[in-house]
Amino acid sequence: MTDLFRDKAADWDTRPVPVQISEGVFAALASNIALDPSLTVMDFGAGTGLVATKLAPRVAKVIAVDVSPAMLAQLAAKPELAGKAEIVCQDLLAAPLGRTVDLVVSAMAMHHVADTRALLRTLFAHLAPGGRIALADLDTEDGTFHPPATEGVFHHGFDRAALRAELVEIGFSDVRFVTACEIERDGRRYPVFLATALRPA
């Protein structure tokens, strides 16, 4: 599999948009999910660990899952994640972890997965009963958020009502949406939502 982020990983943490999104998403997550030291958390699409570094002090363990070796190499080098993060470089849809977690978080990864329904089913299967998801991504946009011809972008954001319906159909309950942040670029505003939901016990 081609690493689409190979040439972006080294300076990713210096880019203002990923930093703004990670800060907004974590603030929304911490306000809407009870974080505690007993939790094992999967960070799906963990990238360089911008969200994982904020989560790590609040939970027992972070399983950082991504398909980009270059991004995960940046994550692995962060001293604040030493002893707290397990790094997994694999496609969960093709090769599930084979175990469950208490919480799945994801920031800006869903639009890189072609089959959203298959992804949501996979995340549901990785949750222990009573576990929760916290998924952040763009609201539906006109395709201008990413530069033209960006590889690996399958969705120009998501419609909240349609995503809610998919989550409920798969078996999630207590589905809620909040706006985590808004990105301003070239005179346009791109809201980023955080969707939280429960896998019933």
pLDDT digits (tens, 9 = 90+) for 76-122: 999 999 899 999 999 999 999 999 999 999 999 998 899 999 999 99
124 found inside a domain: yes
The whole domain housing 138 covers 9-198
Instruction: List the CATH number of the domain containing 176.
Output: 3.40.50.150
94 found inside a domain: yes
Q: What are phi and psi of 192, to 5 degrees?
A: -115, 125
Q: Going along the chain, which residue ranges are E strands?
A: 40-44, 61-66, 85-89, 101-107, 127-138, 173-185, 188-198
Domain count, the chain: 1
2 found inside a domain: no
1 found inside a domain: no
Q: Is pTM beyond 0.85 here?
A: yes
3 found inside a domain: no
74 found inside a domain: yes
Q: Which residue has the tokens 């660990």?
A: 49
Contacts of 121 (CB under 8 A, 6+ apart): 170
Separation CA 87–CA 79 (nearest Å):
14
- Give tens-digit pLDDT for 122-175: 999 999 999 999 999 999 998 888 777 777 778 889 999 999 999 999 999 999
Q: 86 has which bridge partners?
A: 63
